[in-house]
Amino acid sequence: MSIITTSNRMLSVQPHPILIIEDSLAIVMLMKEYLNALGYYDIQTASAGKEGMQLFENLVKANTFPIVFLDYNLPDVDANVVLPHILKIKPETKIIIATALEKGEQEVKDVIMHGAYLYLQKPIRFDNIQNVIKILEDEFNAAKEQTAKVKEQIDSILKPTFVTLNRIAELCNTSGEKALDYLKELESTGKVISLNNVEETSCSNCGSVLIEKDSNFDVSNGDYHCLRCNKRFEASKAKKIMTKAFRIKAKYNFQAGSTQHRYSY
Ligand SMILES: [Zn+2]
């Protein structure tokens, strides 16, 4: 029996590109070396704040969204200028502030409060960088898993009849925005067809579209019952909303036999 081992570190996620904004060349070299050892090779560097902001802007324009290691003190502008600038361009950017200041100091508390993701104590040590990367990878993995779950749910909800975006989002317990990202992806590959300005009836109380005709009331009156907040209301009080709707192209049935269960609402 032979056991094959490999010295290559197995990355659980695709390594993200990295931008280091740091004026000390020695520290840049050290960080690069550590990051390389952790499997990260796509690394860009800037030695001043303004240069870093420009480089970040260029990367985003080129559809590259780096993790940013930002030195607190820079020769031209400090982290309090660079950080909000980067977050304004791309709010979900993970910015790690590197500083010799202690974590409890007011300056550090301020940048964390203003959206820095993590704090890296100088002098830079390998295990510190490793910890930061581990936290980032765990978070990216969790986000990826969650996205995969939502995609799977959306796949199972799409039918050959139109389903509104609000309903898809509510059934998958996600935001309309996130659902739309994936639905647009499906649309661009020709798997689904969209329809604009579809009227959907929603709850007069909570706005949910998960409502049904209420059989406990006089059905002829067409009263509704909200499955989300449990409120009963007259059909005339129901809120009408306009939304997009999607249906799957018949040949792309995600689930075998799903056409047997006609979607009704
Ligand atoms: Zn409701």
Ligand 1 centroid, distance to 210 Cα (angstroms): 8
Residue 110, pLDDT > 70, answer: yes
Residue 25 vs residues 36, 48, 125, 162: alpha-carbon distances, Å: 16, 11, 16, 58
pLDDT confidence of residue 216: 61
Confidence of residue 3 (pLDDT cuts 50, 70, 90): very low
pLDDT confidence of residue 232: 87
Rounded (to 5) percent helix, strand, coil in the chain: 40, 20, 40
Which CATH number is 18-142 given? 3.40.50.2300
Ligand 1 centroid, distance to 239 Cα (angstroms): 11
Ligand 1 centroid, distance to 89 Cα (angstroms): 37
> Between 213 and 4, where is the model more confident?
213
> Between 125 and 256, where is the model more confident?
125
160-176 pLDDT tens trace: 889 999 999 999 999 99
Ligand 1 centroid, distance to 230 Cα (angstroms): 6
Ligand 1 centroid, distance to 178 Cα (angstroms): 22
- Token pair in block for residue 60: 């985003």
Ligand 1 centroid, distance to 154 Cα (angstroms): 22
pLDDT confidence of residue 251: 65
Ligand 1 centroid, distance to 206 Cα (angstroms): 4
Ligand 1 centroid, distance to 221 Cα (angstroms): 19
Ligand 1 centroid, distance to 228 Cα (angstroms): 5
8 Å CB contact between 96 and 66:
no
Residue 258, pLDDT > 90, answer: no
- Span of 12-16, 133-137, 195-199 with lowest mean pLDDT: 12-16
Separation between Cα atoms, residue 257 and residue 241, nearest integer Å: 32
Instruction: List all residues 6 or more positions away from 37 whose beta carbon is below 8 Å from its beta carbon.
Output: 126
> Between 35 and 236, where is the model more confident?
35
Domain ranges for the chain, please list them.
18-142, 158-251
* CA quadruple 114, 115, 118, 122: dihedral sign: negative
The bridge status of strand 239-248 relative to strand 163-164 is antiparallel
Ligand 1 centroid, distance to 155 Cα (angstroms): 26
pLDDT confidence of residue 234: 86
Confidence of residue 87 (pLDDT cuts 50, 70, 90): very high
Ligand 1 centroid, distance to 19 Cα (angstroms): 46
Ligand 1 centroid, distance to 212 Cα (angstroms): 11
How high does pLDDT run on average in the chain? Answer: 86
Provide φ and ψ at 237, rounded to 5°: -90, -10
